Amino acid sequence: MIKIGFICTGNSARSQIAEGFGKYYVEKFGKDIEVYSAGSNPSKYVHPLAIKVMKEKGIDISHHKSKSLEEIPLNELDYVITLCGDAAENCPVVPHANTQHWGLPDPAKAKGTEEEKIKVFRDIRDIIEEKVKNLIKNI
């Protein structure tokens, strides 16, 4: 069984979106893959706008919770995908895993009106969807 971990700092938006798409595409493509997400400094919540934009795609992540690295089988991961966009963020490294860095801005830091913020979430969601779909398809 292949194991993929989507890792970020807070595990409230980008990595949660990636986990949601990962589980969706694993099922869609009939792959034998387990998907996890976690944060090096978990926020203790899943961002409401992440939940909202995933619901627009028909994927419910409202039951997800922000997890620490200790709550997933970090040392068993075959793929580690870091989604931290900021060099100042602390993304962990798992030496034996196939590691990819998808440096994406944190939508939770978006400023402006609610509509402006949700547009940022949608843009990041759509980038993550393409990347996750391609990853899962090619494993």
Mind telling me the catalytic residues? Answer: 8, 84, 91
The CA–CA distances, whole Å, from 13 to 59, 65, 68, 105, 122 equal 14, 11, 14, 11, 11
Distance of CA 61 to the CA centre of its chain: 11
Tell whether the torsion through CA atoms of 76, 43, 6 and 47 is positive or negative. positive
Alpha helices of 1-139 — where are they, by DSSP H? 14-29, 48-56, 114-137
Distance CA 84, CA 2 (A): 23
Of 104, 106, 127, the residue nearest 47 (C-alpha): 106
